[in-house]
Amino acid sequence: MTKATIGFAMCGSFCTFSKAFEQMRRLVEDGFDVIPIMSGNAASTDTRFGSAEEMRKKAEEITGRSVLTTSVETEPIGPKDMCDVLVIAPCTGNTLAKLSLGVTDTSVTMAAKSHLRVQKPVLLCVATNDALGASAQNIGRLLNTKNIFFVPLRQDDPIRKPNSLVADFDKLPQCVEAALEKKQTQPVFE
């Protein structure tokens, strides 16, 4: 029997995809049913970290399900009770900004809106070079938003990238358990 169903939404922080896939696999191995979701950018951009097709196939191989990539596919998440928790890993500065301002124009922001509509938890696993710059106000607003939780963050390279924060991806499974109980894992900043 599966433990719970996790919507696992990936945004376009391509350099952290391998870390996200590692955690996606752990969650499947831990007995969760995982529904893969990718933003349009994540699902369609070829980068030096791999082709879009390879990335979509990897998510499908790990979860055994087709990746949801459009708002039409993610809109039913709330009303059809599809997930117990929605993980956004990696979450970009772009998606943080949209979430904090209520902009819904991607598969991932639609998934979040739909899931929050039924008062269920959304867990953000952020990776962005401007976390302590342009995204700081959005992180601040989301820290104070009901049913939004964060995977603990740390400065990954304070000297060369002083505004950058990356979540501790290894903590994702324990943060999922906490978020299912609507608890924020501490400390938020490591």
Q: Which residues bind ligand FMN (CB under 6 A)?
A: 11-16, 39, 41-42, 47, 92-95, 106, 127-128
State the nearest-atom distance from the C-beta of 152 to ligand FMN, in Å: 17
- Nearest by Cα to 81 from 49, 33, 114: 114
CB-nearer residue toward ligand FMN: 17 or 180: 17
The Cα diameter of the chain in Å comes to: 47
Among residues 15 and 188, whose Cβ is nearest to ligand FMN? 15
Handedness of CA 36, 176, 144, 116 (dihedral sign): positive
Return the sign of the alpha-carbon dihedral for residues 181, 183, 37, 51: negative
Three-class secondary structure of residue 153 per DSSP? strand
Nearest to ligand FMN of 34, 97 (CB atom): 97
Q: How far is the CB of 97 from ligand FMN (least distance, A)?
A: 9
**CB of residue 46 to ligand FMN, shortest distance in Å:** 9
How would DSSP label each residue in 123-147?
Answer: EEEEEETTTTTTTHHHHHHHHTSTT
Question: Judged by CB, which is closer to ligand FMN: 31, or 162?
Answer: 162
The sign of the dihedral angle between the CA atoms of 149, 155, 157, 159 is positive
Smallest gap from Cβ 42 to ligand FMN, in A, equals: 5
Beta carbon nearer to ligand FMN, 42 or 151: 42
Shortest Å distance, C-beta 100 to ligand FMN: 13
Which residue's Cβ has the minimum distance to ligand FMN?
Answer: 12
> Burial code of 91-101, b = ≥16 C-beta within 10 A, e = fewer?
bbbbbbbbbbe
